[in-house]
Amino acid sequence: MSGRRIEPQPGETIDRGCTVRFRFDGRQLEGYAGDTIASALTAAGVQVLSRSFKYHRPRGLLCGAGHCPNCLVQVGDEPNVRACRRPIEEGMEVAPQNVWPSLQYDAMALTELVSRFLPVGFYYKTFIRPAAMWPLYEHVLRNAAGLGAIDETTTVGGDFDKEYLHADVAVIGGGPAGLSAAVAAVEQGARVLLLDENKTLGGHLRFSGDGDDGRTRVGAWRESLGKGGATVLTQTAVIGHYQNHWLSAVRGNRLYKIRAAGVVVATGAFEIPMVFDGNDRPGVLLGTAVQRLIRLHGVAPGRRAVVVTASDAGWDVATDLVQAGVEVAAIADERPGQHADQRIDTTETQVLHGHTIGAAHGRSAVRAAVLVPVDGDGPWHTVDCDLIAVSTGWNPSLELAYLAGARSRYDEDLGEMRLQAVPDGLFLAGRVAGPGGLEDDVRQGDDAGHAAAEWARGGSKETGTTAAGQRTPAAPTGGRSSALVAAPPTGHDKRFVCYCEDVTDVDINTALLEGYDRIELLKRYSTLGMGPCQGRMCGLQGIRHCARDTDTSVADTGRTTARPPVTPVSLGALAGQRMEPVYLSALHDWHVQQGASMMIAGPWLRPEHYGDPVAEVGAVRQTVGLIDVSPLGKLQLTGPGVATMLERLYVNQWQDLRRGRVRYGMMCNDEGIVLDDGVCARLSEEEWYVSTTSTGAAGALEWMEWWRQSGWGEGVHITDMTETFAAFNLAGPRSREVLQQLTERDLSKAKFPYMRARRAEVAGVPCLLLRIGFTGELSYEIHCPAGFGRYLWETLVEAGGSFGLRPFGVEAQRVLRLEKAHLIVGQDTDALSDPIAADAAWAVRLDKGDFLGKRALTRVSSEGPRQRLVGFRTGRRVDALREGLQIVDAERRIIGWISSCRHSPTLDETLGLCWLPADMAAREQSTFTVFVAGRLEAAQVHHGPFYDPEGARLRS
């Protein structure tokens, strides 16, 4: 292993006995089990992990905490993997992102040379004209934009799924505050769920402070949680908080949807970078990143370091560096006066108070740091180094608290956001609520855990809120953040505020000058904070820049709205397991075996045809056909109040319908618009069987239940029988003969005439038979228990064999009904169609009592509809006529449209239904023109059915 690996550290998470081989950018490398990709690469001396989004500048590890975009790499087919979080695995194939043709020589890096021609808002300004050029622009931009590569031929990242979790108290963050909160809640008897995004619990105790003591305490907390039955999920990132404490979290390929009564947010704080010249050069690392590498992975990220700080935190980092054998060449401490730490030997290390960093020199790796006086007054110190550890500022991880509705305000004294108010059931503990010492964290976690458990038990709102400002920021050991908006410029290099989108302080200033002077506008125009880190690295810096350059206080500048997901999530995790319910008829397998072409019809799969829809139409007209109509909505209505309720829900009359009879029915809403249609059969005085359209079945049931449950359903029970019964329509002149073979029930016209319902045993199966005729032929709708559906269907097919029976599909049925000019609700009607206009005035009984739509239809009836649904024919075959085409007048103004159109094989002409102005529709045989792709086609108005207008066949 490389010389970057140091002596074993007491709390390290690597197993030095287990070597793991992987490849990066084509190179074979080694690390230890427990290494992250980033720690293994650092140990191997690899500093450049990727190139930046816009300028393709070389980038290396920066935050080490899973926030910044610098270490995003491609792992196999999975793009945008955070190298500082993902553990290495044997044989893993890792590739850098945003590089072409290679990491070392990147062609797009030339964009940096022309960067003064790539100002902020470049895309908006440049690529808008000439418009004809957009396809070319788009092609180039699409290739230049985006992060990583996706193989569109496979499922990236394997299978994904989701899981629901439930808890009394969900604790987010497994640091000292979160752990003590979880333990306190468990001790209160609460069902606790602890979520942490790291591999191991402990938060900053893993890599800072007195390691041994920290580990002992974490061990004890863990044990208490285990005993208390808490669920602990590590490597789990909480990405959203929604209404009523609904959390979403991602762990690997699983998305968790979590419902908690109370939530403890103990998400801590994260270190943020400093704005200085060349602040993105590989070798510039945040202080905690350095500590993580040393203490968790036993890796020294450099040989000669410069530490930049504004508090004692930087001195901790310097101490860790010295202990790891790294030479600390200089410490620049922003604070004036003496803060010398006896752990640092000042004879070895140059200590510069009142100084900060002005520039990092170097290109693919840091060569030197330029340290400058904070007040700009005094000489610069150029210090050779290969590592710059920046420990100048923190920001609390308030994102989830914001999503939950918490408010914050910038605290000038602390240099960070402070919480103002939190919503009910939310409790904050630890560093997220303000700086403090370890014991403060633990005590506050304990309080929050107790309060959350009490809240979950139904505690009062008063005790349920952790008031903001409860924490005293006295002598914060974590340290106050740098007071500087940015270091004094040295003029050497770009100064990045936003690493994800390559936004510099100059870009921000330009955007402000252009008038984008509100933080939300600034964000959208400059794309500041819109990359993978979602503003974690740059949010506060952007606000400070905006405040400074607009002469506003930081507090009054406000912040941009927090939105989920807090951290990037793969689309696969959001999609989860594919769950698309599809309704299959009891005959589905038979249809498929017979080679049916299946189509989606509402929630169902139905046979469109069995190969030859024209022949299917012919069979029904000449002999007999059989269609599966199981998707029809089927409702059983029982009780003394059914007739009364139907009178109110349907436009038709029902009280007079006698037992054993069937009637067509149409439902409208109070606007008089057609909602659904079907037939209602009165099986006995108080038992009705009602069918609805196949696609509208669920909606019709909800509609009926709505009225039933809000005053119109006295003495009515509705039972959905849609899936209980399979249903077929046996249609055609020979259908009686086919069916009569299988039943003892007399099917003669005298005993079982048109529009009647009869119970009968068919081939031993108890059935309900309805003599109704959508197809226009003698036909029987057969309803039988679904489990016997296939048996009965096959029996019918066999019985009809000698009569030339053919199964027919939806397409043939559409032709058959069109030959009869029957409308289909939803096909020939829309959200503006009333039954009078839709040529169903015969069904509307305005002389009965109140019903849904009566008032509107009374008006339509007296004034007459403006448009009417009417038949049309052409006398020939016109394949160009299609559904949806517009009907135009002599000036080619649109006056109507075709709602249904087919070539009728029976009549050998193209015909259909269309919407026309009422006066035109009233004139039988009047000619109109249809606009077909620039041409005009003529058609004639036709009244009534095209086929068998007297209806003799269906009554036969």
Partner 1 sequence: MDSCTQVIDVAGGWRLPEAFQSPDVELQAAKKAVVLGDDTSRGKILVQGEDCARAARQAFGAAPDAVGTWVEAEGVELSRLRPDLLYCGTPPERLSFASEALRSAAQGMTEPLTITDVTHGRFELRLLGPAAGNLLSRVCGLDFHETRFAQGHVAQTSVAKTHQLIIRADVANLPAYRLIGGRALGAYVWDTLMEAGRDLQLSPIGWLGLQRLT
Partner 2 sequence: MLRIDCPNCGARNAAEFRYAGEYNPRPTQADDDEWIRYLYLRRNRMGVQVEWWYHRSGCGTWFLVERDRRSNEISRIMRWQPGVAETGSLSA
Applying CB under 8 A, the residues found at the interface with partner 2 are 242-244, 246, 257, 259, 670-671, 702, 705-706, 709-711, 855-856
Q: Which is nearer to partner 1, 199 or 790 (CB)?
A: 790
Say how far apart CA 601 and CA 588 lie, in whole Å.
14
Q: Judge whether 77 and 151 are in contact, CB under 8 Å.
A: yes
- Cβ proximity to partner 1: between 103 and 627 the closer is 627
CB of 255 to partner 1, least distance (A): 11
Cα–Cα distance measured from residue 757 to residue 760, given in angstroms and rounded to the nearest whole number: 10
d(CA 438, CA 808): 77
The CB-of-602 to partner 1 minimum distance in angstroms stands at 12
**Complex with partner 1: residue 638 or 827, whichever CB lies closer:** 638
Which is closer to partner 1, CB of 382 or CB of 636? Answer: 636
Query: Closest CB to partner 1 among 469 and 640?
Result: 640
Residue 910 binds: one of partner 2, partner 1, none (C-beta under 5 to 8 A by kind): none
Task: Pick between residue 294 and residue 718 the one whose CB is nearest to partner 2.
Answer: 718
Please report where in the chains the tokens 């690493």 appear, as a residue.
499
Residue 591 has φ and ψ, to the nearest 5°, of -55, -45
Dihedral sign for Cα atoms in the order 673, 677, 679, 682: negative
Kind plus residue range of the DSSP H or E element containing 439:
helix 438-456
Q: Pick from 534, 558, 440: which is nearest to 177 by CA?
A: 440
710 binds, among partner 2, partner 1, none (CB under 5 to 8 A by kind): partner 2
CB of 766 to partner 1, least distance (A): 11
Choose from partner 1, partner 2, none: what does 263 bind? Cβ within 5-8 Å by kind: none
Minimum distance, C-beta of residue 635 to partner 1, in the bound complex (Å): 11
Closest CA to 204 of 269, 273, 263: 269
Closest contact distance (angstroms) between CB of 723 and partner 1 is 4
Q: Rounded CA gap, 10 and 230, in Å?
A: 28
Nearer to partner 1, 257 or 367 (CB): 257
Looking at beta carbons only, is 417 or 765 nearer to partner 1?
Answer: 765
For the bound state, the minimum distance from the C-beta of residue 586 to partner 1, rounded and expressed in Å, comes to 7
**Residue 105 or residue 164: which is nearer to partner 2 going by CB?**
164
Comparing CA positions, the residue from 19, 25, 63, 66 lying closest to residue 46 is 25
User: Residue 263 is encoded by which pair of tokens?
Assistant: 């939530």
Instruction: Compute the distance between CA of residue 755 and CA of residue 753 in angstroms, rounded to an integer.
Output: 7
Q: Of partner 2, partner 1, none, which one sits near residue 705, judging by CB under 5 to 8 A according to partner kind?
A: partner 2
CB of 460 to partner 2, least distance (A): 16
For the purposes of burial, counting CB atoms within 10 Å of the CB of 332, is it exposed (0-12), middle (13-18) or buried (19 or more)? buried
Q: Which residue, 636 or 795, has its beta carbon nearer to partner 1?
A: 636
Q: Based on DSSP, count helices (H) and strands (E) in the chain, helices before strands.
A: 25, 47
Cα 221–chain centre separation: 36
Distance CA(954)–CA(535), nearest Å, equals 71
Please answer whether residues 838 and 674 qualify as being in contact, where contact means their C-beta atoms are separated by less than 8 angstroms.
yes
Instruction: Choose among partner 2, partner 1, none what residue 594 binds, the Cβ cut-off being 5 to 8 Å by kind.
Output: none
702 binds, among partner 1, partner 2, none (CB under 5 to 8 A by kind): partner 2
Question: Cβ distance 265 to 429 under 8 Å?
Answer: yes
CB of 241 to partner 2, least distance (A): 11
Q: Taking CB within 5 to 8 Å according to partner kind, which of partner 2, partner 1, none is near residue 785?
A: partner 1
Q: 715 is in the binding site of which of partner 2, partner 1, none (Cβ under 5 to 8 A by kind)?
A: partner 1
**Residues contacting 223, CB < 8 A, separation 6+:** none
Residue closer to partner 1 by CB (options 54, 634) is 634
Encoded tokens for 524:
């959208």
Please choose which of partner 1, partner 2, none residue 670 contacts, taking the beta carbon within 5 to 8 angstroms, the exact cut-off set by kind.
partner 2
First to last CA, the chain: 94
Q: How far is CA 924 from CA 677, 870, 920, in A?
A: 27, 10, 8
Footprint on this chain of partner 1 (rule: CB under 8 A): 161-166, 191, 257, 259, 577, 579-586, 588, 604, 630, 636, 638-640, 686, 715, 717, 719-725, 785-788
DSSP string computed for 494-512? --EEETTTTEEHHHHHHHH
CB of 314 closer than 8 Å to CB of 307 = yes
> Which structure tokens are listed for 864?
């007459």
Comparing CB distances to partner 2, the nearer of 699 and 951 is: 699
Using H for helix, E for strand and C for coil, what is the string for 402-414?
A: HHCCCEEEEECCC
Q: Residue 787: name its binding partner from partner 1, partner 2, none (Cβ under 5 to 8 Å by kind).
A: partner 1
Q: In the bound complex, what is the minimum distance in angstroms from residue 246's beta carbon to partner 2? A: 4
The string over 132-170, giving b where at least 16 C-beta atoms fall within 10 Å of a residue's C-beta and e elsewhere, is eeeeeeeeeeeeeeebbeeeeeeebbeebebeebebbbb
Closest separation between CB of residue 588 and partner 1, Å? 8
Quick one: 99 or 192, whose CB is closer to partner 1?
192
Pick the closer one to partner 1 by CB: 379 or 581. Answer: 581
Prior bond of 917 cis (ω within 30°):
no
Amino acid of residue 608: E
| Residue (421 or 584) nearer to partner 1, CB | 584
Compute the least distance from the CB of residue 579 to partner 2, in Å: 13
CB of 676 to partner 2, least distance (A): 17
Residue 162 CB, nearest distance to partner 1 (Å)? 7
Query: Closest approach of Cβ 701 to partner 2, in Å?
Result: 8
604 interacts with, out of partner 1, partner 2, none, CB within 5 to 8 A per kind: partner 1
Partner whose binding site includes residue 162, from partner 1, partner 2, none (CB under 5 to 8 Å by kind) = partner 1
Bridge partners, residue 911, by sequence: 873, 902
Binding partner selected for residue 244 from partner 1, partner 2, none, CB under the kind-specific 5 to 8 Å limit: partner 2
Contact predicate 633/693, CB 8 Å:
yes
Q: Strand 350-353 relative to strand 779-785: parallel, antiparallel, unpaired?
A: unpaired
124 binds, among partner 1, partner 2, none (CB under 5 to 8 A by kind): none
The one of partner 1, partner 2, none whose footprint includes residue 26, by CB under 5 to 8 A per kind, is none
463 vs 453: CA distance, rounded Å: 11
Tokens for 155, please give them.
Answer: 């499922």
